[in-house]
Amino acid sequence: MKEILNLALVFFLSSYWLIVPIVFLVVMLFLLGTRKTNKGRWMIATVTLIGVVLMAWYGFGRVAYYDWQVKRLCAIDGGVKVYETVQLPTEKYNKYANKNWILPNKAKAKPSDEYFYEREIVYYHRDNPQVTRQLTRIIRRSDGKVLGEYIRYGRGGGDLPGLWEGSSFSCADIVRPPSFATSIFKEGK
């Protein structure tokens, strides 16, 4: 019996975005049948319609709006900017390539690390959904020069609550970080 109740709860929680509008409409139809005047019927229909539209906006419209904002911001300044390419000897190039181009961050870089990265995150919207701008720079330790920047925007969350993982969207699909590093570091002789 407990398993059946758990299954029913899981079904309801994971599909309430469908159940709640149906319940709204059933209640509206019931209330419309109890009203004698057209004014009362129109008021009930209007309030119910506004409720359904607000739920649709909350569940789908916000995510679509913030995804559109992320696409717009990505088009403005997202992507990779290379200021200087570095020719690495084959041995060093393969060493970095074998580590999937994971460089140490500035806070954990050892004095022996020739290159490191630093990251800045700006929150455009902290609530649910969260919208961020992430700037990653690869820096040469010897002179402190920024060799390149990778800017990406992203949205996380904003979905209807449920037992599933929240969705996300970003312009990271345009250029993945290994491509960022390999656009700066080239194999030399």
Give tens-digit pLDDT for 67-101.
999 999 999 988 889 999 999 998 988 888 888 88
Query: Do both 62 and 104 map to the same domain?
Result: no
Query: Do both 94 and 45 map to the same domain?
Result: no
Query: Do both 146 and 81 map to the same domain?
Result: yes
pLDDT at residue 39 in the model: 81
- For the chain, the first-to-last Cα distance in angstroms comes to 71
Between CA 112 and CA 102 the distance in angstroms is 15
pLDDT at residue 185 in the model: 92
Sign of CA dihedral 74, 171, 149, 141: positive
pLDDT at residue 123 in the model: 96
H or E segment and range at residue 31: helix 2-34
Query: Do both 83 and 102 map to the same domain?
Result: yes
How many structural domains compose the chain? 2
Between CA 162 and CA 12 the distance in angstroms is 9
Query: Do both 129 and 151 map to the same domain?
Result: yes
| 36-51 core/surface letters (b: 16 or more CB in 10 A; e: else) | eeeeebeebeeebeeb
* Within a domain: 72: no
Between CA 133 and CA 174 the distance in angstroms is 15
pLDDT at residue 98 in the model: 83
Query: Do both 113 and 147 map to the same domain?
Result: yes
Q: Which residues of the chain have pLDDT under 70?
A: 6-18, 161-163, 172-178, 189
Residue ending a domain, among 66, 88, 109, is 66
Between CA 127 and CA 158 the distance in angstroms is 9
Assign 3-class secondary structure to 106-133: CCCCCCCCCEEEEEEEEEEECCCCEEEE
Between CA 186 and CA 88 the distance in angstroms is 6
Which two structure tokens, joined as six digits, stand for 58?
């909350």
3-state secondary structure of 176: coil
Which two structure tokens, joined as six digits, stand for 34?
């109890």
Query: Do both 145 and 87 map to the same domain?
Result: yes
